Amino acid sequence: MSSKKADSSKSVGTAYFTENARVQACLKDLNQHFAEKPLVVSDILDPQGHQYVHLVQKGGGVLGIALVGYTYVLEQMGIRFMRLAGTSAGAINTAMMTIIKNKEDAKSVDIVEILCNLDFFKLVDGHPFARFIISKFVKEPDFSVMVKKWVSRFFIIFALLFLCDFVTFGLQPYYEWARPLCLTLFIITGLYTLVLFIACFYFSTLLTMLKNSGYGINPGDFLYDWIKDNFKKNGVNNVSELNAKASQDIPGLHLRDGVINEAGIDDIKGDVTFITSELVTENKLEFPKMCYLFRKPEDIDKLHPAGFVRASMSIPVFYESYYIKDIPCDDPAIKAAWNNVFDEEDPPSTARFVDGGILSNFPINLFFNENVQIPRLPVFGIDLDDSTPDDSGKHAESWSLGGYLGRMFNTIRDYYDKDFLLKNKVMQEGIGVVPLSKFNWLNFFIQDPEKLDMFATGAEAAAAFLKGFDWDTYKNSYSTVQHQITPNLQSKKSN
């Protein structure tokens, strides 16, 4: 990768994304669509007329660029966010939307500027050889395409060399020119074989290095420092400051005129949640909510919140695990906390985290409140769908290798969230899907035109969702379900 390509992410500004024809067409279409009947998505408003929703953002590596395009359109249509949650790439956009400015302000343009100044190439901060291999494999949406190419080239070259060796060896007795040619080909074949042995030995050495580094190709130090730097620029240096940002008051917050809801708005408070997976005790963790499992109350701010996002983004093998060490596991309060939450009587002294998407890549269940009879604001979710038509179809015999492995992995990581949505189908009415099958979620070598395409695809998905969303239908569906389950809940409590 040349330095010119590596720096290409710095060659464009925010207007490259926000003023794009496809993005502007989305906004124009929405304004025309809601010209006569204004957009209504919530009963919670501020004095400027912004409507508030809860927002959940799915993980997906560099596909997170589409999340920014999606939220940009939502914000341009006057939508703001109360509670926020996300996993992996969704955690990154969630973090930026939490720390930038105030809750009533639009954030997406600022996030676009941050992405414009980010050299994506530096996010792959591992061994040079590993970076080279990654760059070759992740440019195709389907990994199996590149695997087939490399394996095919290997066998074709090897087969051609042996064929030429055999033919020229047989021609030596008859043609004088065949002898030097045969010798040359034998030397080339030997060198090729030697190179392969060296490559295998080097690969074995890299595997040992991989084991010693916590089974991560990239240490993820640049990612952590980048997150921490953005937190600092926005006045967030510890957990307390993050919580203060997430829960800040919104002056003049009120119910929509003419709407009566006995629940009122006093309990409407913002917060933020990043999902990660803890391997030592095999549990799903919610940060910053569960900080008390790792530090005493007076020491909570010794944990930097950038670590929560880094933990959520710890893509297995691609990034090293994230660790929280020196947990006071013998402290009675810490032991009681682990026992109460996870039934763990012997907490670990060191916790090891990998990508939250392993257990919950779309944590929309966090915002379901069984005590609310009539919702005052909806839960919006942004679902990133990178499955290809063939690999997402029902004809299992036609799946590619990538499709097969993808379905197997998605079955594991999506089951928890899917099971919740199957039991609470009303929540699906707030979910918009962004189709991203032509992009590779690990392509950190992505160039500006692809970023723009991804951003615009997110914007178009947001526009389609808003045109199809009906707040009254959502409220009625939610209320109907709640009235059905309330008797059961009361029965369980009485028992």
Residue 85's H or E segment, with its range, is strand 79-87
Residue 207's H or E segment, with its range, is helix 178-212
Report d(CA 286, CA 146) in Å as an integer.
36
Burial environment of residue 410 by CB neighbours within 10 A (0 to 12, 13 to 18, 19 or more): middle
Q: Give the Å distances, CA to CA, from 420 to 23, 417, 469, 476, 479.
A: 33, 5, 21, 20, 18
Looking at residue 373, the DSSP 8-state letter turns out to be S
Identify the CA nearest to 418 among candidates 369, 363, 482.
Answer: 363
Query: 125, 355, 383, 417: which is the annotated catalytic residue?
Result: 355
Q: Give the Å distances, CA to CA, from 258 to 43, 44, 247, 254, 255.
A: 10, 12, 27, 11, 8
Query: 8, 88, 321, 360: which is the annotated catalytic residue?
Result: 88
Report d(CA 65, CA 446) in Å as an integer.
11
Pairing of strands 379-385, 431-435: parallel
Q: How many CA atoms lie within 13 A of 481 on its CB side?
A: 18
DSSP 125-151: -S-HHHHHHHHHHTTSSSHHHHHHHHH
Joined together, the tokens standing for residue 272 give: 């933020």
Q: Which residue has the tokens 């379905």?
A: 407
CA 55 to centroid of chain Cα atoms: 14
Annotated active-site residue 479? The verdict is no
Annotated active-site residue 2? The verdict is no
Report d(CA 445, CA 112) in Å as an integer.
17
Report d(CA 362, CA 203) in Å as an integer.
35
Position 196: which residue type? Answer: L
Identify the CA nearest to 48 among candidates 105, 99, 110, 102.
Answer: 105
Residue 23's H or E segment, with its range, is helix 21-33
Active-site annotation, residues: 88, 355
